[in-house]
Structures are given as structure tokens and as C-alpha cells.
Amino acid sequence: MITGASSGIGAAFARHAAKLGFDVGLCARRKDRLEALAAELTTKFGAKADVFCRDLARPGAGLALADDLAKQQRQVDVLVNNAGFSIACGFAASNCADQRSFLELTIHTPVELAHALLPHMLAQNWGRIINISSITALSSGGKGHTLYPAAKAFLLKFSQSLNAEVSARGVLVSAVLPGFVATEFQQANGMDSTISAPPKFATQSPEQVVTEAWRRNDKGVEIIVPGLAAKTMALMMGILPESWVRKLTRQIAEDAYVGD
């Protein structure tokens, strides 16, 4: 089951899973994209692909999706919590409704899905849960980037805590902390006018992220930082004093921030 499957990292996860012989559940808001991807996976890999078109930023959406899966008697062995968005303005300029939707999608939905789908994984002593966090989870944010790193830090700690609870029973949980990835994320979230583009040398493709994430999750790696650029950033954050890291990340955020 892959959320945010209509493009980017989510679509790459779907293709990777189908190539490995898994049937896949695809969830996102853009039905046309999901149906096109489902047809591609069936034609190219012979995979059964079920489409679930829904807005996971609504309260209770994770539980509703789990109910749909149960009604269709679909058992989930691998869960990829990838759906996400960002708010393309500063915290004070954003509205509470957008903030609530962001937190529902980034925090509540992954928790609801993991809780609902975990019993089957534990019963068969095998399962995989991959939560897409961000390299920003390792530090505080900055101007125009306030809620995002805080929510991604929750996903990181949730993944670690859950893995400590269930890994001995064959269910491996990982948090993936990508750096810059070449996806539609900035355009889809209206961030082109507020955040400058990352340097190309530091940018990974979705396929590179997925290949490393899948391989290392299967080996039981709890925190996965894909790519040399992101690994370098993570190393620096671990070595430098926290006050230096916070100052540096604030400066990077301010340099990238164009305005509301």
C-alpha cells in the first residue's frame, strides 16, 4: 500500500514493488494519474493494482482507507507512508485550516494506517513499514519552513519507536530521510515562487531514493538517508554543535526563501 502514489517517490515505489512481484494499492487524490499508473504496472509487470482515490489530509482518512482495504479483503504486507505536502508561506501568514490538513496528512494518517495494518503483519511474522520523513527532521527549520521539519521529526521518532516494538516479530520499520529529490513537490505545493531551486549536483531521482530505501529497509536499517549529499548533511548535523547547525539551517532557509 503506497500513499502519495500519483507521482514522484510514491510512483517510483509502486513501480519498484510491482517489478519485484508485489500487487500494489495506490492512494492519492489524482484519479487520472493513479489509473494511468495502475494500467502501466499491470501491462509492464503483470501486477494487480488497486486504485484508492481519496484525500488523506482529512480527519480519519487513514482509518477510512484501512476500512476500504478490509472490506475488499486486501491484506497489506508492505506499507509506504509517502503522501505529503508543504505550506507555501510563512507560519504567521498561513491559515489554521491548512496547518491542520498538513498535520493530519503528515502525522495522523501514517499513524492510523500503521495501527490498522500492523495486526496482519504481526500475525504472519513479516511486514514492512516505510515512512518518508526528510533530512530536515534532523534540525529545526527556518523562515517559511516551520511546521515541515517538526512534523517530519515526529515521523522519524515514531518509526524508531515502532521498530523497537515490532522488529523482533518480523516487522521492520524505517524512516527515510531524503534530501533534495527531483519531483513535482515544489510545483504541486505552489513553492516555486517562495523557495529557490536546489543545486542539481545535490539532487537525487525518485528511483535512486526508492532503490536504496527498499534495500536498506529489508536489511533492518532503521534510519535511511539516501544519497551522498543527504548523507553529508546528516553527518555534519551530527558532528557540528547544535547551535551551529541551527544557525546554518536558518541561513539556508532565509537564502532560499523568496517571500509569501
Name the 3-class secondary structure at 180: strand
CA 69 to chain CA centroid, Å, is 20
> Which residue has 516487522 as its cell numbers?
171
Entry pTM: 0.88
CB 249 within 8 A of CB 142: yes
Residues noted as catalytic: 148
The string of pLDDT tens digits covering residues 165-178 is 999 999 999 999 99
Q: Report, in angstroms and rounded to the nearest whole number, the Rg of the chain calculated over CA atoms.
A: 18
Percent of the chain having pLDDT more than 70?
85
Domain 2-256 = CATH 3.90.79.10: no
The string of pLDDT tens digits covering residues 1-29 is 999 999 999 999 999 999 999 999 999 99
Quote the Cα angle for 107-110-111, to 5°: 80
81 phi, psi to nearest 5 deg = -90, 95
Residue 80 has pLDDT above 90, yes or no: yes
What confidence category does residue 123 fall into, taking pLDDT thresholds of 50, 70 and 90?
A: very high
